[in-house]
Structure 1
Amino acid sequence: MDYRVNPGGCLRGQISVPGDKSISHRVVMLGAIADGVTEAEGLLEGADVLATIAAFQSMGVHMEGPDRGHLRIEGVGLRGLRAPSDIIDCGNSGTAMRLLAGLLAGQEFSCTLTGDASLRRRPMGRVLAPLAQMGAAIEAEDGRAPLHIHGRPLQGIHYDLPVASAQVKSAILLAGLYATGDTCVREPAPTRDHSERMLQGFGQPVRVEGAQRCLRSAGHLRGQSLRVPGDISSAAFFLLGASIAPKSDLLLEGVGINPTRTGIVEILTRMGARIDLLRLREVGGEPVADLRVRYAQLRGIDIPTRLVPLAIDEFPAIFIAAAAAEGVTRIRGAEELRVKESDRIAVMAAGLRTLGIAVEELADGAIIHGGVLGGGEVASHGDHRIAMAFAMAGLVARESVRITDCTNVATSFPNFAELARTAGLDLEVQTS
């Protein structure tokens, strides 16, 4: 499936983006191993989360839904999972694979995790190393999936993350639920804290001591009812589009503004974007707001490295913002982008060059010279966030932009094309 975006247009009106993917994964995982029933509203029904649901269903957890964002989970308790009858397929989801590796390392059975071709290329060594220190037995050729997990007793560790990663941090903490003693993770820079917040909500204390997160397994979790806020990573594309397209004025309702996730808002604001946070409130332990964004002429900046972990999934949108801005934008400290669903530095740089933008690719980022975007055909390499970013670039391109291999947009934003058209993007979905 490809996208074709015709130039012109603007984004106006009022829309709601799908539920947060990171939170949705964690709701399914913790609800499955909790005692009692968990009821979730606003759950993302994208392919990634559906893969996580299927994984736990294969391990004996009964779930009803998801149906229009509602999911009912009948938790089996920390020790209630059963060995799956087949290999667990995580699809395209790195979050599912890395977090499941931690959660399953301490079970009393063996299993295998695999995924699609893209996921099998992604490195898993950074999560396997600390789990091995805890006593986990996980086999992986060249540190990549498939992961053959042989469940065994675990021991808590104190671990300093070499690179800021919420997925690795979360995998260690989930393994800590099955470990003896304290499990502590220290991160070099703040990363999203959904796991810590949700563990607390399910009744598992997590001690926050500066840059360190510690837990000692309470032996059980409690099912709960909660609502998943809108995903700021999905909202990012509409924040981008409305910022760069003249006459845009768009309201995004009920978006999660967890302070470990709002790097995209701060970066765009530093570039001159007009983003207002309205009706601030709390939903399910997470801060939420309505975001109003209006067109503004953006300017290039040097992005502070401290903001990189707080916007790591939103950098495809930031690359496009930099391309449409006046002046030069410098991105450093973002080497994590090399090991996402694609090498996002290389793929974004190549796509921008196709559209006539000068880009100097760096090992840990890029230098982007803002200018006028032309048209052409851009390869997304099956990366959902790159496909959506270049779709928004079509708003200000001189000619139409065709983005190839967009099927994986369904992993995080199943109704992206429909919602974007509703807001004013001239987007056609084409069968390859």
Structure 2
Amino acid sequence: MDLQITPKKLSGTVTPPPSKSQAHRLAIAAVLSNGISTVRGVAMSQDVEATLRCLTALGGRWRETAPGVLEITGTGGRRTGADLPLLDCGESGSTLRFFIPIALAATGGGVFTGRGRLMERPQGPYFDLFREKGIFFEQKDGVLTVRGRLTPREYRLAGNVSSQFFTGLLFALPLLEGDSVLIPTTRLESVGYINMTREAMALAGVHTQWREGSTLFIPGNQRYQPLEAAVEADWSQAAFWYAAQGLGNAVTIAGLNPKSIQGDRVMASFAEMLRGEPLHGGVTAPIWGPASAAPARPDRQIPARPGWSTPCVGSVSLPLTHCPDLAPPLAAWGALLNGDLYLKDAGRLRIKESDRLATITAALRALGADVTEEPERLIIIGKPSLPGGTVDCAGDHRIAMMAAIAATGCTGPVTLLGAECVKKSYPDFWEVYQSLGGEIHVL
């Protein structure tokens, strides 16, 4: 589906959709239990549907008893049957990486398929472990087969590729007969997502411990218990509406938990920085420590900029170490910021649904923005407005939403190619956009 957006300012109140990251984790904890669980507030995005398919493949059952309310019948972490289950992960990297160790623990392996770039995304940390522990794996023609059994012991894997590898093992290792330890061999990134996993597990009565900084101790012989939980509103999707506010749209964001464990809650503090405001204390303080002011490039001094409706914030550098999904909304804001924005520690964005450093750059440049792509960061020089243009969404839901928010600061129409990709995480995004006054035409 291709769309054309006629630039208009947005206004109204918006409640972000439920967190798919939290929904994945609660559904998995529920299916590993020996009983019936209830998870409320689930948005049926394509990624969540992939997780529900996989829990069914492992012998679990689910039904929607009311809109957004799932009743999930668990397996106790075991599956009967001699054949390896077939797990269709769609385009969900979380689903694939979460279920690989779970399938090994529950049934001795599985056959995994996917669509888009999913089966091209790196699984190196798992493969290194499998070689070490004698677990069979084969990746061929877009299909990954794993076969073997996890054993309780020490597991070492890189912490700077994706926290999803840690989450998969965290879910699986408590089911083993002995204790295990997870040790990152590099700096551990996206810690908030790991804590979200631990929180979901704790709701099901399964506990882990941080030891010596970034080492995780996982006691064995634990059993998941049925749970009742509700999914919070998603801070990573709320970030797009924060960016809309920064671009002068009168949008009010409702329904967020200001004390959420979600790492992307740091967007509230990033927004204060980009508005040139002092950071508040309490729940709006940065989760991962303060961002830093970046020195202006030698050839780039920032004088007063007459004609801007917002104060000049100078050069601001924001670390994405623990919140890579914030890059697209921050980039949309930066393209129209009265200042320079450096998005750093962003190398992992290259292994998302698209190479997001490249696709963010291409999309914003297509709209007339000043963006420089480097191996691990983006440099964005703000402009008072952008002329508009045609953006290839590259099959990436966050690129489509980024372009839609940037369109509110454009002077000419914005055409989006492949705009249906928002269904991956925010199925009603375009309906919400129109409800706030956005003008959209299907081409």
1:83 is displaced (CA, Å) by 6.3
1:9 is displaced (CA, Å) by 1.7
Q: Tell me whether 1:45 sits opposite 2:59 in the alignment.
A: no
Aligned-partner Cα distance in 1 for 2:331–2:221: 43
Q: Tell me whether 1:182 sits opposite 2:180 in the alignment.
A: yes
Judged with a 3 Å threshold, the aligned counterparts in structure 2 of structure 1 residues 112 and 296 are, in CA distance, closer, same or farther, namely: farther
Aligned-partner Cα distance in 2 for 1:35–1:401: 51
SS at match of 1:310: coil
Deviations 1:215-243 (A, max 9, x none): 12233100110100011111111111122
1:287 maps to which residue?
Answer: none
Structure 1 segments, 4+ long, off by >6 Å, are: 83-86, 273-277
1:88 is displaced (CA, Å) by 1.8
1:92 is displaced (CA, Å) by 0.8
Q: Tell me whether 1:420 sits opposite 2:433 in the alignment.
A: yes
Aligned-partner Cα distance in 1 for 2:5–2:202: 44
Aligned-partner Cα distance in 2 for 1:83–1:19: 37
SS at match of 1:53: helix
TM-score (norm 1): 0.87
SS at match of 2:42: coil
TM-score (norm 2): 0.85
Aligned-partner Cα distance in 1 for 2:367–2:376: 22
Q: How does 1:107-122 map to 2 (within 5 A)?
A: 107-122=106-121
Q: Tell me whether 1:244 sits opposite 2:247 in the alignment.
A: yes
Judged with a 3 Å threshold, the aligned counterparts in structure 2 of structure 1 residues 344 and 231 are, in CA distance, closer, same or farther, namely: same
Q: Which runs of 5+ in 2 are unaligned?
A: 284-308
Q: Answer whether contact 2:373 2:379 (CA < 8 A) is retained.
A: yes
Judged with a 3 Å threshold, the aligned counterparts in structure 2 of structure 1 residues 11 and 28 are, in CA distance, closer, same or farther, namely: same
Identity %: 23
Q: Counterpart of 1:184 in structure 2: which amino acid?
A: L
Compare 45-54 and 181-190 and name the one that shifted more.
181-190
Judged with a 3 Å threshold, the aligned counterparts in structure 2 of structure 1 residues 21 and 195 are, in CA distance, closer, same or farther, namely: same
1:54 maps to which residue?
Answer: 53
2:199 maps to which residue?
Answer: 197
SS at match of 1:309: coil
Count of aligned residue pairs for this structure pair: 409
Q: Answer whether contact 2:35 2:226 (CA < 8 A) is retained.
A: yes
Aligned-partner Cα distance in 1 for 2:238–2:83: 36
1:208 is displaced (CA, Å) by 1.8
Q: Tell me whether 1:154 sits opposite 2:162 in the alignment.
A: no
1:84 is displaced (CA, Å) by 6.9
Q: Counterpart of 2:188 in structure 1: which amino acid?
A: P
1:163 maps to which residue?
Answer: 160
Deviations 1:356-393 (A, max 9, x none): 11221100111111112111100110000110110111
Judged with a 3 Å threshold, the aligned counterparts in structure 2 of structure 1 residues 109 and 249 are, in CA distance, closer, same or farther, namely: closer
1:386 maps to which residue?
Answer: 399
Q: Answer whether contact 1:322 1:328 (CA < 8 A) is retained.
A: yes
2:374 to 353, 359, 362: 362
Aligned-partner Cα distance in 2 for 1:352–1:68: 37
Q: Counterpart of 1:47 in structure 2: which amino acid?
A: Q
2:90 maps to which residue?
Answer: 91
1:264 maps to which residue?
Answer: 267
2:138 maps to which residue?
Answer: 139
Judged with a 3 Å threshold, the aligned counterparts in structure 2 of structure 1 residues 67 and 342 are, in CA distance, closer, same or farther, namely: farther
Q: Counterpart of 1:390 in structure 2: which amino acid?
A: A
Instruction: Return the structure number with greater strand share.
Output: 1
Q: Counterpart of 2:358 in structure 1: which amino acid?
A: A
1:267 is displaced (CA, Å) by 1.9
1:275 is displaced (CA, Å) by 12
Judged with a 3 Å threshold, the aligned counterparts in structure 2 of structure 1 residues 86 and 4 are, in CA distance, closer, same or farther, namely: farther
